């Protein structure tokens, strides 16, 4: 089945950090309400509003296109009607308000991700937001995972690179328990990776491949289609943990439920592909 562009955005949003997800869902709702009113668009709108706890709209959109004799639709409608009658939009998520902060930080150098913006690990915003760690304004907001007890909303790239964010919130960007399992990598490199490197967002626990005695550099979220477009189909090496997927390359779709993560060895420059599924 062909997945619409809007459905893909919805799926991608579900994998973002809470803050980016909410912002993207509001953007998606605005875009969907301004385009052609198709059944699929109404279904996505209903899902978006249901996720944001706007049950009146979620129910309205689904009820216009649902097929009452379809058990799945009927169940969903019943649930939305119930939520609408119980709470309506009282607990709906508020549309993010941009607070004006001055100044903006620059992108520092990351050893294990030299082009973090292109790799999609930061979101670039029009107006700077306040970093929860240093308090400075930043247009570059980290959108990957951060494993800590506190869950800061906004982290600037400088606070990641300096290790300040990891120290202040006692957190890690990549799980060091996993990284330490790889043999022959100096402890300092594990610290660099886990505490000072922005991480991609995986379906499962993020795994970071190593090659030639060091961790690789993260390049991009990819599907097999992108690998072919980059001309890497014959040279890319599957990470040991993802070798099984080399027999099922067609399932690896960027933004799909079987996602590829492209890395490159810092030493021999070989491309390494890691894959996980939802
Ligand atoms: Zn900061
Ligand atoms: Zn290598």
The string of DSSP codes covering 15-78 is TS-HHHHHHHHHHHHHHHHTS---HHHHHHHHHHHHHTT-HHHHHHHHHHH--TTSHHHHHHHH
Q: Which residue has the tokens 């490159």?
A: 264
Give dist(CA 229, CA 136) in Å, integer: 39
Question: Could you tell me the distance, in angstroms and rounded to a whole number, from the CA of residue 164 to the centre of ligand 1?
Answer: 8
- Please give the average per-residue pLDDT across 140-145, as a whole number: 92
Neighbours of ion ligand 1 (CB under 5 A): 131, 133-134, 156, 159
Supply angle C-alpha 71, 203, 212, rounded to 5.
155
Instruction: Give the number of other Cβ atoms within 10 Å of residue 105's Cβ.
Output: 18
Residue 102: per-residue pLDDT: 58
Give dist(CA 226, CA 259) in Å, integer: 12
Which residues have CB under 8 Å from 177's CB, separation 6+?
none
Question: Could you tell me the distance, in angstroms and rounded to a whole number, from the CA of residue 50 to the centre of ligand 1?
Answer: 33
> CATH fold of 5-86, please?
1.25.40
Q: For residue 198, give the nearest of 184, 219, 168, 213 by alpha carbon.
A: 219
Residue 60: per-residue pLDDT: 95
Residue 103: per-residue pLDDT: 59
Give dist(CA 196, CA 174) in Å, integer: 9
Dump pLDDT digits (tens) for 46-80. Answer: 999 999 999 999 999 999 999 989 999 999 999 99
Closest ligand relative to 158 C-alpha: 1
Between 164 and 255, the higher pLDDT residue: 164
Element holding 259 (H helix, E strand): strand 258-264
Sequence spans of domains, the chain: 5-86, 98-199, 202-278
Residue 114 pLDDT > 70: yes
- Partner residues linked to 147 by β-bridges: 172
* Long-range pairs of 186-192 with CB within 8 A, sequence gap ≥ 24: 189/214, 189/215, 192/111, 192/112
Question: Could you tell me the distance, in angstroms and rounded to a whole number, from the CA of residue 212 to the centre of ligand 2?
Answer: 4
**Torsional sign, CA 278, 6, 15, 272:** positive
Which residues have CB under 8 Å from 124's CB, separation 6+?
117, 139, 140, 141
Give dist(CA 154, CA 142) in Å, integer: 7
Residue 159 pLDDT > 70: yes
Instruction: Give the number of other Cβ atoms within 10 Å of residue 181's Cβ.
Output: 10
Residue 40 pLDDT > 70: yes
Residue 55: per-residue pLDDT: 95
Question: In this predicted structure, which of 16-30, 68-82, 148-162 has the lowest mean pLDDT?
Answer: 16-30
Residue 34 pLDDT > 80: yes
Residue 97: per-residue pLDDT: 66
Question: Could you tell me the distance, in angstroms and rounded to a whole number, from the CA of residue 265 to the centre of ligand 1?
Answer: 29
């Amino acid at each position: 089945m062909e997945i619409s562009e809007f459905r893909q955005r919805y799926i991608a949003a579900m994998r973002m950090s809470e803050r980016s997800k909410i912002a993207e869902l509001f953007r998606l709702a605005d875009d969907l309400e301004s385009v052609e009113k198709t059944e699929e668009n109404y279904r996505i709108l209903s899902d978006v509003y249901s996720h944001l706890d706007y049950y009146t709209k979620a129910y309205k959109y689904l009820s216009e296109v649902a097929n009452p004799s379809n058990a799945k639709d009927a169940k969903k409608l019943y649930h939305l009607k119930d939520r609408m009658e119980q709470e309506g939009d009282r607990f709906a998520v508020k549309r993010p308000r941009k607070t004006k902060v001055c100044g903006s930080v620059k992108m520092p150098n990351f050893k294990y991700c030299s082009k973090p913006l292109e790799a999609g690990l930061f979101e670039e915003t029009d107006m700077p937001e306040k970093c929860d760690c240093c308090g400075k304004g930043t247009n570059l907001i980290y959108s990957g995972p951060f494993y800590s007890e506190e869950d800061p909303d906004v982290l600037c790239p400088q606070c990641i690179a300096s290790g300040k964010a990891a120290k202040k919130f006692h957190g890690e960007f990549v799980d060091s328990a996993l990284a330490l399992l790889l043999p022959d990598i100096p402890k300092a490199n594990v610290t660099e990776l886990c505490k000072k490197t922005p991480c991609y967002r995986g379906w499962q626990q993020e795994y970071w491949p190593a090659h030639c005695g060091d961790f690789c550099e993260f390049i991009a979220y990819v599907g097999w289609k992108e690998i072919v477009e980059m001309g890497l189909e014959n040279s890319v090496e599957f990470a040991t943990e993802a070798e099984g997927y080399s027999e099922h390359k067609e399932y690896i779709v960027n933004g799909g439920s079987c996602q590829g993560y492209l890395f490159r060895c810092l030493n021999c420059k070989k491309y390494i592909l890691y894959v996980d599924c939802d």
